[in-house]
Amino acid sequence: MAKKSNLRFQPAVDLSVIHASFVVATGGVCSDQRTESALLGPTSEINTRLVSALTDVRAFWSALFAAVAAGRSARQACPSALASAGCSELQIDQTAAALGSQLDQCRIVYQQRFPKLKEQLDLRAGPLKDRWQTYGPGLLIETARLIWGSTPPEKWWPDEVDCLLVQPVRGGDGGFDSGQCRVWIEAMLTDADPAVGEIFRLAFWVTQVAVGRHLAATLGHVEATSHPEDFGSGTHRRTSLPWDLGCVPVVLTAGANLELFRADPLPIQTAVGLWRLGDESVGAVVANWWDQWKDAGAAMPVALKALDRMLAPLRKRPETAGTLDEDDSSDNRSVR
Question: Which pLDDT belongs to residue 179?
Answer: 84
Q: What is the pLDDT of residues 257-311, one digit of tens each?
A: 999 988 889 999 999 999 999 999 999 999 999 999 999 888 898 999 999 999 9
State the pLDDT at residue 216. 81
Q: How far apart are CA 190 and CA 167, in angstroms?
A: 13
Residue 72 in this model has a pLDDT that exceeds 80: yes
Instruction: Confirm if 334 and 327 have CB atoms less than 8 A apart.
Output: yes
**Where are any strands of DSSP class E within the chain?**
6-11, 160-166, 174-177, 182-186
Which residue from 256, 12, 306, 52 is spatially nearest to 146, judged by alpha carbons? 256
Model pLDDT for residues 199-232, shown as the tens digit of each residue: 999 999 999 999 988 888 887 655 444 544 344 4
Q: Structural domain boundaries of the chain?
A: 14-116, 119-325
- Stated as kind and residue range, the H or E segment containing 52 is helix 33-52
Rounded CA separation 128/174 (Å): 13
Average pLDDT, rounded, for the chain = 87
Residue 182, pLDDT score: 92
- Strands of the 160-166 sheet, one edge to the other: 6-11, 160-166, 182-186, 174-177
pLDDT at 94 over 90: yes
Residue 304: closest CA among 214, 231, 229, 224: 214
16-44 pLDDT, tens per residue?
Answer: 999 999 999 999 889 999 999 999 999 99
